[in-house]
Structure 1
Amino acid sequence: MSKETVPMFKFIVLGDQSVGKSSFVKQYSESIFIEAHKPTIGVEFVKKMVVVDKRKVELQIWDTAGQEQFRSMIKSFYRGAAAVFVLYSVNSRDSFEKLDQWLQELQESAHEEIVKILVGNKSDLDRDISKEEAEKFMNENNFSLFFETSAKTGENVEKAFEDTVKLVIMRMFTSESFKNSIKTTKKTPANSRQNTSRSEPLEDFVQTQKPIQLQVTPQTQQKQEKQCC
């Protein structure tokens, strides 16, 4: 990666509904927390320009729906992803036990060298899953990193993304097959539409895209609005 170009890394956020995926992304991209967040229908994504170890990187972060009926539809979005954050809630045994389902989906749809990050979200709440149990699961399933985060307080959210970017960069230099499998649209900053003439730091420049809506029945929509994502 040269100094004249800015690589783009595609990150996917997975997990059961109500584990706080959208809040996790919102906390990182805009440093805000919304208490009552509407469930994600289909997929949404944000773009954020960051600087990690003096390297400029554009992140494209895809927030996916956790509902069962959307899973087959969103599998195509795994293509070209450099890393995946697999979330569970530390206060939900059910969300932790469903991690095996998400790993099975990854095995079927994602590149075998995708960087896998295990995230125990909602660390500000009373826990039902111990850190030791989660670390055991991480080691048994070949995750590269593990974090306990709080989308509400911001604990470890930025660190999770920053450490993942570092790991992706390192893997690009050490694995040609990984480098060839990921989507890295490089842009020259002077020509990029993401460039800004304002003086704010790159870390503060975020572009939020509109949701990609997938077809849903009125009955399902009413049911999902009663639940948090």
Structure 2
Amino acid sequence: MFAYRRKQNCEDQVELELEYKYNYLLNLGMSKDGLPMFKFIVVGDQSVGKSSFVKQYSEGQFHEGMNRATIGVEFVKKLVIVDKRRVELQIWDTAGQEQFRSMIKSFYRGAAAVFVLYSINQRDSFEKLQEWLTELHESAHEEIVKILVGNKSDMERSVQKEEAEKFMNAHNFSLFFETSAKTGENVEKAFVEAVKLVIMRMFTSESFKNSIKTTKKTPASSKQNTSRSDQPISEVSQLPSKAIYLQSNHTQDNHHAKKQCC
């Protein structure tokens, strides 16, 4: 009986701590629905599967013929459940072409985490990771959560897992996953673990916390919030996506989302 009570007390303590952290997040950046909101950015060379990676996570879909290059930057919003609490993610899918590289640097601002992708069947995409890291370090907060992702794990590899793990350790990545946007392998896990790390880092680094604060928006009406709270806790919702097209004069125009490529 004593052991049971001690276990129950520990579980209650953990639950109280999670509730405290969640309420704390609510007082920082919020979505229009009054939820904690984090900005994630996905970078990497063209054709490594960035758009397919994001689409698999946000919609649970993969399109075999999705082979046109993303022009500019596209983002989707998604509600994710972490430790039974809802968090809204803004996931920014960036173009991998050389002509957009300098323009995309501004999108690192305010990002809590960055997924740096290469394709395990494209050796050159792995060898160019250092270029992406250089731009990341120049543009992002020094404590941004970095996740290394070897995509297309369903294909024949030209990059060994041990090589990627060595690169991860040498460049202080927080996480490393080999994923398949086609089968869904490790895609959701990569995002969920990234959210957990972001939350943890917010409680250990004041400068990191300040770097990802977003302007508070007025929460939705109480009726809307009540409706959302009545949804099953296991439900993970997808929100609308948008695209931003980068022109050669560095202007940005908002358009409706279009199907883009990796």
TM value normalised by structure 1? 0.88
What whole-Å deviation, never above 9, does each CA across 1:157-179 have from its counterpart, x for those lacking one?
A: 00000000000000001111100
Higher alpha-carbon Rg: 2
The residue aligned with 1:224 is: none
The residue aligned with 2:256 is: none
The residue aligned with 2:55 is: 26
The residue aligned with 1:211 is: 243
Pairing 1:68–2:98 present: yes
CA RMSD, 1 decimal: 2.5
The residue aligned with 1:174 is: 204
1:16/1:66 contact within 8 Å kept: yes
Which runs of no fewer than 5 residues in structure 2 stay unpaired?
A: 1-21, 27-33, 249-259
Structure number with higher relative contact order (C-alpha < 8 Å, ≥ 6 residues apart) = 1
Of 63, 82, 97, the residue aligned with 1:52 is 82
Pairing 1:17–2:43 present: no
* 1:207 shift after superposition: 1.7
Moved more, 1-10 or 182-191: 182-191
* 1:61 shift after superposition: 0.2
The CA distance in 2 between the partners of 1:170 and 1:128, in whole Å, is 34
2:185 aligned counterpart, secondary structure: coil
1:12 aligned counterpart, secondary structure: strand
Which runs of no fewer than 5 residues in structure 1 stay unpaired?
A: 217-226
Map residues 1-229 of structure 1 onto 2, 5 A cutoff. Answer: 1-2=22-23, 6-37=35-66, 38-184=68-214, 190-191=220-221, 197=227, 199=231, 203-215=235-247, 229=262
Letter matched to residue 67 of structure 1: Q
1:87 aligned counterpart, secondary structure: strand
Identity among equivalent pairs (%):
78
The CA distance in 1 between the partners of 2:184 and 2:213, in whole Å, is 28
Letter matched to residue 176 of structure 1: E
Against the structure 1 CA distance between its residues 202 and 62, is the aligned structure 2 distance closer, same or farther, given a 3 Å change threshold? farther
Letter matched to residue 178 of structure 2: E
TM value normalised by structure 2? 0.77
What whole-Å deviation, never above 9, does each CA across 1:113-136 have from its counterpart, x for those lacking one?
A: 100000000000000011111000
